[in-house]
Amino acid sequence: MTLLATLLFTGFTFACTNLIVTKGASKDGSAFLVYLNDGEWHPHLNITPAADHDINDSLVYRSLSGKLFKIHQVAHTYRETGILMNEYQLALGETTFTGREELWDKNLPIKYWDLMRLTLQRAKTAREAIQVMTSLVEQYGYGSEGESFSIADPNEAWLLEMIGTGGKGGAVWVAMRIPDGTVTAHANHSRIGTFPLNDPDNCLYSANVIKLAVEKGYYDLASGKPFRFNDVYDPPSPEHLKYTETRVWSLFRRVAPSQDFSPDYHRGKTGAKPYPLYIKPDKQLGLQDVFSLIRDHYEGTDFDMTQGVAAGPFGNPNRTRPMEWETNGKKYSWERNISTPQTAYSYVAQLRDNMPNEFALAWFSFDDTYTNCYFPFYIASLQVPPSYQTGDIRHFDRASMWWAFNFVSNFANIRYQLMVKDIRKVQQQLESKFIQQQDSVEQAALKASPEERIKMLSAFSLASGNEVHARWIEMGNFLVMKYNDGYVKDSVGHIKAQGYPKAWLNSVTKQEGVRYIINKSE
């Protein structure tokens, strides 16, 4: 079952986060596209090989309402993995912003995941991907809610935002090129505001983008106000901004600390200035910098999920869902952090114009980004590590990498701040090792014949994925042993009672000390 098929099978996703680092913003000239797919489902990492087809054949798609449609086939489709990357170093990501739900036509066939897979099989570059995506929805109709798509190749990066038309067919969309040397992010809120109408090198849009908004009463041409796609098709509210833009703010504040981005916008303060679509980083970013950016609970800010009563005695940033509640007529919600237990999978595409396309590379992992481990997966690989292709969400199985990660991350909730140190030590050891090995493996592969090159890259991916699986099985066993029954064993196995933090005990004493006091008679 592919990533796509599993998504269709469970249909239970929450939200996602994306980050794009253009090649001019990176240390080594790589472009990075980061996609966190957050939802409670068990994906598999599979490859769809390139193939030739009879153009008289048709593909059958089912709309969300159950209607069947035929979509034309093309003569040749490209090799792709999941709905992530293809053999030409074209990478995609997405986050759902929903927007105006009355524009969501569930009778139309092409959902966003269909669109992504079809595009990876039919396009070689980011600009071509936009053409494929928009022409498909124009011809057959768009059957999903509002969506922001990250689209990148080694030389160009784009953000495409799309929403339905409410029964009129086609879609409404706008695409902006992200300038080289900059970074952008999106997280379930439309990010494109104003856009140029006469700059096709940097901005493309549907002919109906303003017309439909006027027809629906979303925008008044006579108002004199600038047309902002996100305000029109995904109107902001304090609740929506807290859930979405806090993640963008946290990425931007660490990419460019010198710009001192205010939290006012993501807190929904009236008149607060929206965050820019893209920013220039204070320094160029490397692969490990990118890994670090997406491992975040807002530590060190006023929104730090590891602090406060809700974090418990051991600084646990993870919150169970639902995220919102109401008490005495007032609404509350937890923060929606970047690292979340509900991440099904994530990947970092490393796109390089100085390397052959056979070196198209996805750093892939399942589960929470804070406690997972990325391994280098070359799209040309002959084999996917078995643990990344097995398992289902209804049966616990450590042969599944998804379950191995989930066992470790869930067990760590018992005593988070102590256990996470053990987990991240191994995480950083392995990722550093893979990055160090990458250059020598690739340099050797460059000197080999095309056939041997594929074998070498495939062997490296297979060995790396297998090592992550073995170490995480070992990690799960180690944590159960070290932290059994609330005690902590030291490096030589001595059992120690390591109690609650003083600050937490003081809080308990203040709130309900009478309940636990020993000398009640005094």
> pTM score, two decimals?
0.95
Determine contact, residues 317/335, Cβ cutoff 8 Å.
Answer: no
Q: What is the mean pLDDT of residues 412-440?
A: 98
373 DSSP 8-state letter: -
Nearest CA to 213 out of 251, 174, 247 is that of 174
Residues 381/84, Cβ–Cβ less than 8 Å: no
In this prediction, residue 82 carries a pLDDT of 84
Interval 288-319: pLDDT, tens: 999 999 999 999 999 999 999 999 999 999 99
Task: Say whether pLDDT at 34 is over 70.
Answer: yes
Query: Which pLDDT score, from 0 to 100, does residue 520 have?
Result: 66
Count of CA atoms in the C-beta half-sphere (13 A) of 271: 0
Give the pair of three-digit tokens for residue 512: 């309900």
425 has pLDDT over 80: yes
Average pLDDT for 431-442 = 98
**pLDDT beyond 60 at 10:** no
Distances (CA, A) of 503 to 304, 319, 496: 17, 21, 20
- 258 by DSSP, 3-state: which? helix
Residues of the chain above pLDDT 70, percent: 97
Cα-based distances in Å from 117 to 30, 78, 122, 358: 23, 10, 9, 19
Q: Can you give the pLDDT at residue 79?
A: 97
Residue 3 scores a pLDDT above 90: no
pLDDT at 83: 86
Mean pLDDT over residues 367-374, rounded? Answer: 98
pLDDT at 431: 98
* Structural contact between residues 324 and 305, judged by C-beta atoms closer than 8 angstroms: no
Token readout for 68 is 């069947």
Calculate what percentage of the chain has a pLDDT beyond 90: 96
CA dist 306 to 255, 298, 413, 416, 491, Å?
21, 8, 12, 9, 26
φ, ψ (nearest 5 deg) of residue 152: -150, 145
| Coil/strand/helix, residue 495 | strand
- The predicted model gives 78-84 an average pLDDT of 93
Does 374 score more than 60 pLDDT? Answer: yes
Give the model confidence (pLDDT) of 195-217 as tens digits: 999 999 999 999 999 999 999 99
**SS3 sequence, 426-452?**
HHHHHHHHHHHHHHHHHHHHHHCCHHH
More confident residue, 521 or 490: 490
Peptide bond into 179 cis (omega under 30): no
Band the pLDDT of 14: cuts 50, 70, 90: low
pLDDT digits (tens, 9 = 90+) for 101-149: 999 999 999 999 999 999 999 999 999 999 999 999 999 999 999 999 9
Interacting residues of 412 by C-beta distance below 8 A, sequence separation 6+? 371, 419, 420, 423, 479
In the predicted model, is pLDDT for residue 327 greater than 60? Answer: yes
Residue 6, pLDDT score:
39
Q: Report the distance separating Cα 122 and Cα 13, nearest Å.
A: 26
DSSP state letter for 285:
B
Quick one: pLDDT band at residue 323, thresholds 50, 70, 90?
A: very high
Q: Which residue has the higher pLDDT, 410 or 83?
A: 410
Residue 109, both tokens: 């066939």
Q: What is the pLDDT of residue 90?
A: 98
Q: What is the mean pLDDT of the chain?
A: 95
